[in-house]
Chains A and B, each alone.
Chain A
């Protein structure tokens, strides 16, 4: 593992250099919370946030994205739109990186999806270790306190300076070209471990009352548990838990036509399995008609179905769903603990 050190006083310069040379996206405060947005000046960039409203998945799978462009005349060419403008995504917490790593696998598996993959390829990801824990986060218990891949650089705030872990050659080049560096010592490395475990320890206050690897097994025996009905009776089918989740990626596809009725685009936009019509087909049949079946599906997807594909739980413990759910029924910690209790 290769570590470098940037003095806090040199940090703005680094960010400014990046802004001068790249499109930089990063975390900014908004109304007392945080969102990802475009960074135009170093002071806009915030690295001591607890959690953002929407995860950085929006950069790779935008809420709405044109896939194809076409003319309505016969024979006309259909042009796929694939975005691959390079950009820097500065300030991604390890749990979100873990989620991106999962998405990478989903979109590369089977028939690869270049619309996603090219965007992903175009991004330089600069991770940052959390300095604060959002009230509903439990990433530490999900094994997402640190990640070993999925970033080009990883920053850790050490008070006076940042320690930067180099993840890729792209990251190294970026750093060497634009930052004033000092070598990090083994003491620095040890201190970084300490800082990381301290924050991770705070996060551990929330978590499962049992080992998380038992979740798939637990679910296997819970299909008919009364909890699904009971909890889902409060579900608003508002899809918030889907939209904010970094590991949810379902989408809908639609054709949009210009007013001249001669040109159009095929777009995809985020969909959510909690929404009423998610599995409804033209005949009127709805394969997940009840709130309970949709609610249960989400937890099975996180804790069981995707496990079969990823060999990992499709929840990274960010807690976004928990804090966004108005009736407060979307929290995986509460739900799985309740299921375990029986």
Chain B
């Protein structure tokens, strides 16, 4: 069987998700045995437009990027969105809540007209996306799981239950009991509740589960002392592109 040809691309992002791929360390070498990586700008000079699977990191933040993404979509058999920026719009959507002209002026002053920008959006707002690997950054094991599934010809099984499940299994004290608040009850699991485990709280970086009970989450946050503004802020941090945050 011929090895599948794999390419990596990035748009507006911190490139941390591609770095997570490199961070597979020894396992990356195993991946390299199973697939042919034909494009990975962050790590290699080789480049090819002939690939089966495209992993695409980053959000779309300007009209001119749409063409490049559409080109990738046209070449790729399978397109996988890599990380929150690509799957949700992620952190980059925070700017959507300011007037775009104001944003440009704020950062680039009277030279603002040189800098094209429009409200940030996830890949699937521009082209169809086959699979999503959520997270900011992505979880290395989940990336490996998706690669393995694609190699075996199966659809990767991406969780649709909230972070609380993994958080309880990790035997964490719920942060609400510690006087903090948490997006875990509406956020898609798969990270092993890593933030709570590390003493923080769930920021919501993996996006919402398919059917989040946003009303109840708002109520829970409100009973724990968050103002309406803060609650919106919590939803907007990562899922600003989704309806519940608007």
Chain A residues in the interface with B (C-beta under 8 A) = 30-33, 35, 53-54, 63-64, 233-240, 243-244, 254, 256-257, 259-261, 270, 272, 275-277, 291, 324, 326-327
Contact indicator B171/A53 (Cβ below 8 Å): yes
Contact indicator A239/B165 (Cβ below 8 Å): yes
- Cβ-neighbour of B211 out of A31, A35, A237, A261 (below 8 A): A237
CB-CB nearest in chain A for B145: A256
B side interface size, CB within 8 A: 36
- Cβ-neighbour of B169 out of A33, A63, A233 (below 8 A): A63
CA distance A63 to B145 in the complex (A): 19
Contact indicator A327/B160 (Cβ below 8 Å): no
* Chain B interface helix/strand/loop/mixed: helix
Contact indicator B30/A260 (Cβ below 8 Å): yes
Contact indicator A240/B210 (Cβ below 8 Å): no
Contact indicator B165/A238 (Cβ below 8 Å): yes
Jot down 24 A-B pairs with beta carbons below 8 A, ordered by A. A32-B177, A53-B168, A53-B173, A234-B213, A234-B216, A235-B213, A236-B186, A237-B162, A238-B184, A239-B168, A240-B168, A256-B145, A259-B30, A259-B31, A259-B144, A259-B148, A260-B34, A261-B152, A272-B161, A275-B161, A277-B160, A277-B161, A324-B168, A326-B176
Contact indicator A236/B217 (Cβ below 8 Å): yes
Report, nearest first, the 8 A-B pairs whose CB atoms are least far apart.
A238-B164, A259-B30, A243-B168, A236-B185, A31-B173, A63-B169, A234-B216, A275-B161
Chain B positions 98 through 125: 1 when the CB is less than 8 Å from some CB of chain A, otherwise 0: 0000000000000000000000000000
Chain B residues in the interface with A (C-beta under 8 A) = 27, 30-31, 34, 144-145, 147-148, 151-152, 157, 160-162, 164-165, 168-169, 171, 173-174, 176-178, 184-186, 209-211, 213, 215-217, 219-220
Q: Which residues does chain A contribute within 8 Å of B216, judged by CB atoms?
A: 233-236, 327
CB distance from B226 to the nearest CB of A (A): 13
CB-CB nearest in chain B for A32: B173
- Cβ-neighbour of A326 out of B27, B144, B185 (below 8 A): B185
Given A238-B164, A261-B152, also A243-B220 (CB < 8 A): no
Q: Which residues does chain B contribute within 8 Å of A32, judged by CB atoms?
A: 173, 177
Contact indicator B171/A35 (Cβ below 8 Å): yes
Apart from the given pairs A270-B169, A276-B211, 12 other A-B contacts in the complex at a CB distance below 8 Å? A32-B177, A64-B169, A233-B215, A234-B213, A236-B213, A237-B213, A239-B168, A259-B30, A272-B161, A276-B161, A276-B209, A326-B185
CB-CB nearest in chain A for B209: A276
CB distance from B53 to the nearest CB of A (A): 15
Q: Which residues does chain A contribute within 8 Å of B217, judged by CB atoms?
A: 236
CB distance from B144 to the nearest CB of A (A): 6
Contact indicator A291/B168 (Cβ below 8 Å): no
CB distance from A215 to the nearest CB of B (A): 26
